[in-house]
Structure 1
Amino acid sequence: MTTRTGLARPVAVASLVAGALALGAGAAAAAEAKLPRTMVWTAYDLGSSGYAEASGIANALMKKYDMRVRIVPSGTSIGRLLPVTTGKAGYGYLANETYFAAEGSYDFATQQWGPQDLRIVLGRLAGNGLACAGDAGIDTLADLKGKRIGYVKGNPSVNVKTDASLAFAGLTQNDVQPVWFGSYGALKTAIIANQLDCFSSVTTSANTREMEASPRGIAWPEFPPEDKAGWERISAVADFFQPLKETAGAGISKEKPKNLIGYRYPMIVTYARQSDDEVYALIKGIDEVFEDFAGTTGSAQNWALNIAGKPPADAPWHDGAIRYLKEKGVWDAEAQAWQEQRLERLKKVMSAWDAATEKFNTWRGEEQKKGNKVDPDDAWPKFWNDYRIEQGLGPAL
C-alpha cells in the first residue's frame, strides 16, 4: 500500500513555522499529563475563531504545564494540513478539509496528496452559515441570486459549505457572482469595503464581529429545519451537515437565535501514526484546563468533553483519544460502532486509491506506446473521480 506520510513535491514549510506566533512558556509541570515540552499546531488565520480557540487552549495548557506551543496560521486548507503531513506540526485545528483529505477529494485529489490517514482528537460543535452584509437586502437564501459570494482558492472546506448553502435555495455558482480570494481573512475585509456581499463563516469569529460593528452590519439568512427538500440538496453536496439552532454569535443571541448549519469546527486533527500516549496526554490536558479557556469565544464552551468527544466527525477518532474518552464515560457503544464504520470507509478509500493509481499508470503507459502524451497533473483528478464513482465511493470533485 502507498505510504501517505509525506508529499512528492517539496514545499517550504519552514517559512510558515518561522512566521508563526510563538506563545510563552507556562508554569510548573504536571507529571501526569506527560505532554511534550514543545508542540506546534496549525490553525486558520488571524481573526478566525479557530485561531482564537487554539490560542486560548494553548495559553491554558502553558499555564498548567511546563511547555511551549507555537501556532502556525494559514488561510488555506493545504496550508494548515501540510505542516502536519510533513511532521513540522503535530496537530491541526482544522475544518472540513479533514474530510476531504481523508477522502482524497477536491484539492486532495491530486497525485501529490490522496487519502490521508487522519484521526480526530476532539471536534467542537459549531454553527455555520452565510455571513452577509446587513445592507445587501438578503433576508432569505433565495435572495442570494445575483449577489457577490466569497470563495477561497485552495480551501474546499469553505467553498463546499458555500456551495451547500446555495444548494439549499436551489442555486449554484452560476446563479451568483463568485468572487475568489487568496485567503479566508480577506473575505471580511472585502465585505466591509463593499466588494463582497456574503461568505461562509462560523458565527463567533472576530471577522463576523467586525462585520456586525461596521456600517454595513451583518445578516444571517436561515436554513429552516422543516425544509426537507433544502436539506436533501445540502446532503447531495456534502453529508456531514445537520440543522442547528445557533444562539451565540455576531447578530445572534438566545433571544434572537438563527436556524443555521451544524458541523464540527475546529477539529483537533493528527495522523494515525501519532503516539497514543501523547494524544491521550493532550486530550487529558485540554479536559483539565477546560474552565480556563471556555470563555475564549462565544462557542468555546462546546469544547466540553461530552460535546466535542463524540462522533460524528470528518475522520475516525484517534486511539489515544478514545482511551481517555472511555475513562471519562463519554465513549459508548454507539460511538464505537460509528468509529468502526468510519474506519472501514477510510480503508476502502485508501485501497481504491492504490488500485486506481496502478490502473492509471498502466493506462498511461499504454497511451505513451501509442504516441499519446498524458499529463498526469491534468488527467489524474478526472481518472480518480471516475474510478471512485465506479467503486460506489462517490465523486472526488
Structure 2
Amino acid sequence: MKVIHAASLSLALAGAAAAQELPKTMIWSSYDVGSAGYAEASAIADAFGKEFGTRVRIQPSGSSIGRLQPLLQGRADYAFLATEAFFLSEGAYDFATPEWGPRPLRAIAGRPASTAMAAAADSGIKTVADARGKRIAFVAGNPSINVKCEAILAFGGLTLDDVEVITFPTYAAAMSSMTRNESDATCTSPTTSQFYELAESPRGIFYPPLEPDNAEGWAKLEKVLPIMSPQSETVAAGLPEGETAQMAAYRYPVIATTPDKSADDVYAFIKALDESYDLYKEGTATMERWSLDQAGKPPIDVPFHEGAIRYLKEKGIWTAEDDAWNDKRIARQDALIAAWEPFKAENAGLPEDEFAAAWMARRAEVVASLD
C-alpha cells in the first residue's frame, strides 16, 4: 500500500510540475472582437485555463500596429497576427517608415487559411493568366489583401501592369464589386460572405486553379510573397459539395513573439498548445487546423522560434527541409535589418512617401541578392 501511495504521489507531483511550465498569467494581443483571430485566441486561452490553470488576458486591436506594439514593448507575451508579421519583418508597406523598418519576429505556430482568386464566372477568367486586361478589385490601405492578389497574378505570369486595378474604399465594397459588375476578379478568403452572394448572382463564381504541380507558377508567386503554399480546399462559396478547388494557404492567425523570448518559455507554450488541442479544436469551424502537423510547418510569415523547433523535433514533425527553410528565412530577415540603418541614414531627408518607395526598391534588391 505504501509503495502504491508513493507512486501515486510521484505521478501527481509530475502532473503539477507539467502544469507549472506555463506562467500563471499571460497577455496576448489579437485582432478585434468578432474576428476569427480573436475567437481562436479566446478558445485557446480558455483551454489553457482549464488544462493548466493559466489565466490569459487578450488585448484586441483593429490595427496591425495596435497588435504589434504590446509585443514589441514587452507588454504582451504573444501576439495572434495576420500578414503584418511578414510586413514588419521586411519593413514593408505600413512599416516602410523611419520609425519602423524591418524588425525580427519569431513564429510559434500558424493555422493554415485558404486564399484564392475568385472571378465572376462570366468574366472569361478560367486560368490566372486569363486575368490579363481584366478589372481586379483591390482594397484601399489593405496591403495584406492586395499583395496576396499580386502574388496570385504572378502565378499566372502577370504583374499589376497587365491588369486594370480598381481600388475600392473598403473591404466589403471590393469583395461585392463583382456582383455589381464593377470588377471581374479579386483575392481573399473563399468563404467571405460577399462571395456567397456572387455565387448566387447571375454572374456566378469561379476559382482559377493554383495547381500544386505548377512549379514555375509557384516560384513566381513566392517571389512576391514567400509565405504561401498549395491548398486543396473543399469549403468555398459556390463550390459544390464533394468538389475540391486548388488554392493557396497562408497562416492566420500566426502566433508570434520576439526572438529574445526564452526558448524554455516558448517550448512550454507550444507544448501546452499541443496538449490542450482536444479542448479547443472544435471552437470554430477551422480550429482543427491548429494540429501541429499543419500549424507547425513552414512556410509561414517569419522564422520559427528555437523553442518551438525543439518541441516540433521531439514530436517528429520538424524535418531537415524545415531547418533549411528556417535558416534561409532568418538570413533574409537579418540581411534586411542590416540594410536598414545605412539606408535610413542616406535617405533621412526624403518625404515619407518617397522614403517608403525608395526602401521598397532597396528591399527588392536585398532579397534578389539572396537568391
**Normalising by the residue count of structure 2, what TM-score does the alignment of the two structures yield?**
0.78
Q: Structure 2 matches for 1:292-331, cutoff 5 A?
A: 292-331=279-318
Distance change >3 Å, CA 359–CA 188, structure 1 → 2: closer
AA in 2 matched with 1:100: F
**Are 2:237 and 1:263 aligned?**
no
- Partner residue of 1:375? 350
Query: Which deviations, in whole Å up to 9, do the C-alpha atoms of 1:97-131 show, x marking residues without a partner?
Result: 22221122232221111111100010223321034
Q: Is the 8 A contact 1:150 1:196 kept in 2?
A: no
Alpha-carbon distance between aligned partners in 1 of 2:197 and 2:42, rounded to the nearest angstrom: 22
Identify the match of residue 393 of structure 1 among 357, 363, 367: 367
**Are 2:105 and 1:118 aligned?**
yes
Distance change >3 Å, CA 298–CA 194, structure 1 → 2: farther
In terms of Rg, which structure is larger?
2
Distance change >3 Å, CA 231–CA 84, structure 1 → 2: same
Q: Is the 8 A contact 2:47 2:280 kept in 1?
A: yes
**Are 2:45 and 1:70 aligned?**
no
Q: Is the 8 A contact 1:102 1:118 kept in 2?
A: yes
Q: Is the 8 A contact 1:43 1:54 kept in 2?
A: no
- Partner residue of 2:137? 149
Equivalent residues, number: 350
Q: Is the 8 A contact 2:137 2:174 kept in 1?
A: no
AA in 2 matched with 1:41: S
**Are 2:339 and 1:352 aligned?**
yes
Deviation at 1:137, TM superposition (A): 7.0
- Partner residue of 1:56? 43
Query: Which deviations, in whole Å up to 9, do the C-alpha atoms of 1:42-81 show, x marking residues without a partner?
Result: 136735x43443333233333333413324142x544443
Unaligned runs of 5+ in 2: 1-15
Alpha-carbon distance between aligned partners in 1 of 2:77 and 2:301, rounded to the nearest angstrom: 18
AA in 2 matched with 1:180: F
Q: Structure 2 matches for 1:10-89, cutoff 5 A?
A: 31-43=19-31, 46-47=34-35, 49-64=36-51, 65-74=53-62, 76-89=63-76
- Partner residue of 1:224? 211
**Are 2:155 and 1:180 aligned?**
no
More displaced 10-residue stretch of structure 1: 121-130 or 163-172:
163-172
AA in 1 matched with 2:167: V
More displaced 10-residue stretch of structure 1: 377-386 or 287-296:
377-386
Alpha-carbon distance between aligned partners in 2 of 1:269 and 1:146, rounded to the nearest angstrom: 37
More displaced 10-residue stretch of structure 1: 301-310 or 212-221:
212-221
Q: Structure 2 matches for 1:152-171, cutoff 5 A?
A: 152-153=140-141, 155-171=142-158
More displaced 10-residue stretch of structure 1: 304-313 or 236-245:
236-245
SS at structure 1 position matched to 2:367: coil
Percent identity at matched positions? 37
- Partner residue of 2:325? 338
Alpha-carbon distance between aligned partners in 1 of 2:207 and 2:37, rounded to the nearest angstrom: 20
Q: Structure 2 matches for 1:231-250, cutoff 5 A?
A: 231-250=218-237
Unaligned runs of 5+ in 1: 1-27, 362-373
SS at structure 1 position matched to 2:19: coil
Q: Is the 8 A contact 1:248 1:299 kept in 2?
A: no
SS at structure 2 position matched to 1:295: coil
Alpha-carbon distance between aligned partners in 1 of 2:262 and 2:291, rounded to the nearest angstrom: 23
Q: Is the 8 A contact 2:45 2:55 kept in 1?
A: no
SS at structure 2 position matched to 1:393: helix
Alpha-carbon distance between aligned partners in 2 of 1:312 and 1:352, rounded to the nearest angstrom: 24
**Normalising by the residue count of structure 1, what TM-score does the alignment of the two structures yield?**
0.73
Q: RMSD of the TM alignment (CA)?
A: 3.6
Alpha-carbon distance between aligned partners in 2 of 1:51 and 1:91, rounded to the nearest angstrom: 13
SS at structure 2 position matched to 1:281: helix
Q: Is the 8 A contact 1:149 1:197 kept in 2?
A: yes
SS at structure 2 position matched to 1:124: strand
- Partner residue of 2:7? none
- Partner residue of 2:13? none
Q: Structure 2 matches for 1:188-203, cutoff 5 A?
A: 198-203=185-190
Alpha-carbon distance between aligned partners in 2 of 1:56 and 1:191, rounded to the nearest angstrom: 35
SS at structure 1 position matched to 2:98: coil
SS at structure 2 position matched to 1:320: helix
Distance change >3 Å, CA 313–CA 294, structure 1 → 2: same
Query: Which deviations, in whole Å up to 9, do the C-alpha atoms of 1:284-325 show, x marking residues without a partner?
Result: 221112122223444322211122112232211112222322
Distance change >3 Å, CA 212–CA 32, structure 1 → 2: farther
Alpha-carbon distance between aligned partners in 1 of 2:283 and 2:195, rounded to the nearest angstrom: 14
- Partner residue of 2:83? 96
AA in 2 matched with 1:72: P
Alpha-carbon distance between aligned partners in 2 of 1:67 and 1:161, rounded to the nearest angstrom: 36
- Partner residue of 1:369? none
Deviation at 1:221, TM superposition (A): 2.9
Q: Is the 8 A contact 2:115 2:189 kept in 1?
A: yes
AA in 1 matched with 2:57: V
Identify the match of residue 359 of structure 2 among 384, 388, 391: 384
SS at structure 1 position matched to 2:338: helix
Alpha-carbon distance between aligned partners in 1 of 2:195 and 2:284, rounded to the nearest angstrom: 11
